[in-house]
Structure 1
Amino acid sequence: MKFIDMLLFGIYPYVATAIFFLGCIMRYEREQYTWRAQSSQILDKKYFRFASVFFHIGIIMIFAGHFAGLVIPYEVWELFGISLATKQLIAMGVGGIFGIICFIGLTLLVYRRLFNPRVRASSSLMDTLILLLIYWQLVLGILTIFVSTGHMDGYVMKGLMSWSRYLLTFRPAEAIEFIDGLHWIYKAHVFWGITLFVLFPFSRLVHIWSVPVGYLGRNYQVVRRRFGAK
């Protein structure tokens, strides 16, 4: 079991990180015409905007929560008077709310992708695979909330945060000690989350890098009608 944990949670994260960054760079350099979201809104607009908004709001907040939970050291939380048990409770509450929001939107998107003939015909295998993987990962994440109700002492929270810390400081042998005894559902959630980074460069998810942040500070574009034009 130690060997499997070392392989999946000690070595695999570094392999996934290398594939993630190198793959994105190569994709951008060699296939820029494929670097887009490839929206299928024009094929079927029914419920699309509602589903897309719910999905994106949910997934962005979930990602931010995971980043804050795994990357920010727990000592920082304690400086603000937030114990691990309290942090776990906050994570369960906020994660549950945005998890449900994301689940509603993603369920509609998955149904549309699989059962709408026009959308399905325009979808690649990777389009469907990545959507189903995100859906599976979301379901696992929601299920972890129910498992977490059985231990509200912050033990799992500290274990995952310590695992992340030791990986980020290149100490994988010590990192797996913190994930070794965790419930299988947490391990599955972590494994498939890492796998998403492996598939990222080969899917339409690369459009995340191109989010138009610059538009937020851009001056208004003034469009004037030419005199005498009809």
Structure 2
Amino acid sequence: MSAGTILLWVVFPYVAMAVFVVGLIWRYRYDKFGWTTRSSELYEKNILRLGSPLFHFGIIFVGLGHFMGLLIPKDWTEAVGFKEVAYHFVATYMGSIAGLMTIVGLALLIYRRRVTGPVFLATTRVDKLMYVLLAVPILLGMWATVQTQILGDAHGYDYRETISPWLRSLLYFQPMPELMADVPLPFKLHITAAFLLFMIWPFTRLVHAFSAPVQYSTRPYIVYRSRDDERAHGTREPRPGWEPSTAPRGRRRPTSTKS
């Protein structure tokens, strides 16, 4: 086995995932106030209203498909009656629809960021790098699907015999890089681009994917009181130099404090 094979399919994935995990911990510990999408909804809503749901729902379905195809062994799905023909149909055609949604949504978001002045001015260099490294694996994944699964052999390429066990071998810390030797080039490029994306993930706005408002439904209500109510209940002393006025709200007169 060549050193290049070990470097590409063992060392590089482990380095990428180490940077990903350590980077997330570092970002959460030292940059909690930066853990945000930096929403630009106030600047433009029409394109965002279409592009954001397309991208987010598409990428969620793509992620679920990858989880099922890469982390769940083929024997398990066949044991419950989900045969290869049915799996190939769902993974290829339903996955293509999800991938197309993701691409269209991402294209709309990039277009919006480029043509909307305030949004473009708020775009950093890291944002631009993020969009590139986000678009590349998505496009490569669609290329791999179309070339090998739709236009290729009738049964497509069974990546659950090679890529899936290779990835699981990394998780078991028993890497088997030899499984990647005969994998079609589009899949190899797609995987490499995906690990590059994971490496820069913690340092971009993509960290918001790991945030969820889980405490929203249990947190206490916030009670707001006007200053008039506070004065009436004696919870707040009037400010020096100001006296209650019978004038309409917003038109109170200051009184002089000079003796």
Query: TM-score, with normalisation over the residues of structure 2?
Result: 0.79
Task: Tell me the equivalent position of 1:35.
Answer: 35
Name whichever of 113-122 and 53-62 sits farther off. Answer: 113-122
CA contact (8 A) 2:51 2:108 kept: yes
Q: How does 1:21-170 map to 2 (within 5 A)?
A: 21-147=21-147, 148-149=149-150, 150-151=152-153, 152=155, 154-170=157-173
Q: Find the aligned partners of 2:156 and 2:92 in 1 and give their Cα distance.
A: 13
Which is richer in helix? 1
Task: Tell me the equivalent position of 2:205.
Answer: 204
Q: Which amino acid aligns with 2:160?
A: M
Deviations 1:114-170 (A, max 9, x none): 233221111111112112221222111111111223131553332111111211111
Task: Tell me the equivalent position of 1:171.
Answer: 174
Gapped regions of structure 2 (runs ≥ 5): 230-248, 250-259
Cα distance change on mapping 1:156 and 1:210 into 2, 3 Å: closer
Tell me the CA shift for residue 64 of structure 1: 1.3
Query: TM-score, with normalisation over the residues of structure 1?
Result: 0.88
Q: Which amino acid aligns with 1:107?
A: A
Equivalenced residues, count: 226
Query: Among the aligned pairs, what percent are the same residue?
Result: 33
CA contact (8 A) 2:62 2:99 kept: yes
Cα distance change on mapping 1:115 and 1:224 into 2, 3 Å: closer
Q: CA RMSD in A?
A: 2.4
| Rg larger in structure | 2
Deviations 1:37-92 (A, max 9, x none): 11111122231111111110001111111111111111111111223343232211
Task: Tell me the equivalent position of 2:193.
Answer: 192
Q: Which amino acid aligns with 1:103?
A: I
Q: Which amino acid aligns with 1:11?
A: V
CA contact (8 A) 2:74 2:160 kept: no
Cα distance change on mapping 1:29 and 1:225 into 2, 3 Å: closer
Name whichever of 96-105 and 146-155 sits farther off. Answer: 146-155
SS at match of 1:48: helix
SS at match of 1:47: helix
Deviations 1:185-222 (A, max 9, x none): 1001111111111001100111112122444x548969
Deviations 1:74-112 (A, max 9, x none): 111111122334323221112111111111111100112
Q: Find the aligned partners of 1:162 and 1:106 in 2 and give their Cα distance.
A: 30
CA contact (8 A) 2:73 2:160 kept: no
